[in-house]
Chain A
């Protein structure tokens, strides 16, 4: 817990538009900050490069789950049709892979989709009470705000100097985040 003023958790600063936010991101990265983010109402192309972000690894997770799901259902179909409950139906072979294809295909897609959604949620993390939600300024991100947030946990963070730095690179309004109680 903290004293009456509250512990400083970070800073939120607003920029004018897309190009300003991109330019600011470039400068913040070059300054050496590590625990920060750029918030915008929509995805901004070129932001990954400006922030020095690597490509998401989601695709690998999805690929693995798709193979697992598709392979699993093919094995289940084969095992039930050949070994657990063998029946000759319309003259087809017991392991009639052609007839197993539609279900294998559907379940592969289903596994991939589930892995995409849940993998995505796992990667973004579910922070319903993120400190940023306390900020009045921050809520603009989902309307028309282009914001930068820098966490207090960043080694370069200093309440006064960071704010000065953000002003020097063109931010408009800014707000220090403090914990309540």
Chain B
């Protein structure tokens, strides 16, 4: 009898259930699979039409760029890295939240990740696709891109492996490859679910091939679990290294404002910050459009808001330390570069960045705001904007005023620059919409494993204490 009273006391202290609405295994399957199997909704076509039109525009602009050369962009001397590199760093950063959720939160046994990991990982993939595009087209003569690869050639030349450009090629390429493998491994059991429910021959064959003969036997699960653990284990240092290496593109140069040791951790924190903001934006839209409110509950969004608050303050700290070190170093050029950042011709961009990344996220200290969908959505958009401006500030302010005052210039993007950025969002959204339509957007097998019924001792608890059965929460 005393154990029942203890159980009751423990239940009062217990966290709210991860998945709301008293789901059963079958209801999880039905709700998530129906999104894939049902008729394509009209609004999906509208969204897809708009985003694929934007992506087509991107294709046209890239064609124009290749035909005419990089002069169609606003890049000049001294600003040789314009919006293309700003966009590159922005998109790589976006990707980081997906890997953080799938790998680091997995190792930390954060079970709430199961609701959001699938589409956060998809977001990573598509963001990295956009990211990889920018340096690719930025090289100018993209038909010579294979020079990156260490291939024997008739000139007897080999790539310079000491160059951060090569580091980038390997780091971001590896990131993309590992992310797609991790994502696919997680998809296998869910693809099997769609295969087993398929009513049409075409669907059965396509998902049957994709599911690779998955039978959910423990003799398969035991390898699956180890494979998942290894991928999570190796993705953890990978995700921390990718943006560190991207930051080395800057930090290994000798330009004032770039040549600092804080860059790797500062970039990684910023990446996670911006990535979570993007996951938040997408999750809120997904909650409105699809019946997944019970899976991505307000508790999930609140946890993400806390991570945004934390990483936002790391970013704010990095901004402050940069200024401190510039002053403390006594280096005239460093001091000038940072003074000019905050009070020079690009001060408008700098203060947009500080407002969006440091000041606005402070609102997440308030529980009411962390649990208000509209505020979460608005603040996540602010962070997205702020983080784009961060990269703009880092790249443009430093380059526009180099060591030779006679070559200083103010940077202006051209319409091609603007169109390419908009087009990259089109590409990202097109891929994301295709994912939502054809793949289970929530990892069913993982969500089922965190339901109370999945606990082998569930029946004992049920007979010991009936309160457990009715812990369906508010959405």
Q: Taking beta carbons and an 8 Å cutoff, which residues of A are in contact with B?
A: 17-19, 22, 25, 37-48, 51, 53, 55-56, 58-59, 62, 66, 76-77, 80-81, 84-85, 87, 89-90, 92, 96, 99-100, 102-103, 105-107, 109-110, 112-114, 116-117, 119-121, 123-128, 130, 132-133, 138-144, 149
Quick check: is B219 within 8 A (CB to CB) of the other chain?
Answer: yes
Quick check: is B377 within 8 A (CB to CB) of the other chain?
Answer: no
* Chain B contact residues, majority secondary structure: helix
Q: CB within 8 Å of A: which of B376-395? A: none
Contact A53 B458, beta carbon cutoff 8 Å: no
Contact B218 A48, beta carbon cutoff 8 Å: yes
| Closest beta carbon of chain A to B26's beta carbon, Å | 4
Which 6 A-B pairs have CB atoms at the shortest separation, nearest pair first?
A144-B25, A37-B217, A80-B158, A42-B449, A99-B162, A139-B196
Contact string, B87-99, partner A, CB cutoff 8 A, digits 1/0? Answer: 0000000000000
A3 to B454, CA, bound (A): 42
> Which listed residue (A62, A89, A124) contacts B220, Cβ 8 A?
A124
Contact B217 A149, beta carbon cutoff 8 Å: yes
> Which listed residue (B24, B177, B219, B225) contacts A113, Cβ 8 A?
B177
Kindly list chain B residues whose C-beta atoms are within 8 Å of the C-beta of A37: 215, 217-219
A45 to B222, CA, bound (A): 10
Contact A102 B245, beta carbon cutoff 8 Å: yes
Quick check: is B310 within 8 A (CB to CB) of the other chain?
Answer: no
Kindly list chain B residues whose C-beta atoms are within 8 Å of the C-beta of A48: 218, 222
Contact B181 A106, beta carbon cutoff 8 Å: no
- A–B Cβ pairs within 8 angstroms, 16 of them: A18-B455, A39-B215, A40-B221, A41-B29, A41-B189, A44-B456, A51-B218, A56-B223, A81-B158, A85-B156, A92-B162, A113-B231, A117-B181, A128-B209, A142-B216, A143-B26
* Chain A contact residues, majority secondary structure: helix
Q: How many residues of B are in contact with the other chain, CB < 8 A? A: 71
| Closest beta carbon of chain B to A84's beta carbon, Å | 6
Contact B189 A42, beta carbon cutoff 8 Å: yes
| Contact (A58, B226) CB under 8 Å given A40-B216, A42-B445, A102-B167 | yes
Contact A44 B218, beta carbon cutoff 8 Å: yes
Q: Taking beta carbons and an 8 Å cutoff, which residues of B are in contact with A?
A: 24-26, 29, 150, 156-163, 166-167, 170-171, 173-174, 177-178, 181-182, 184-185, 189, 192-193, 195-197, 208-209, 212-227, 230-231, 234-235, 237-238, 241, 245, 248, 444-446, 448-449, 453-460
| Closest beta carbon of chain A to B28's beta carbon, Å | 8
Contact A143 B234, beta carbon cutoff 8 Å: no
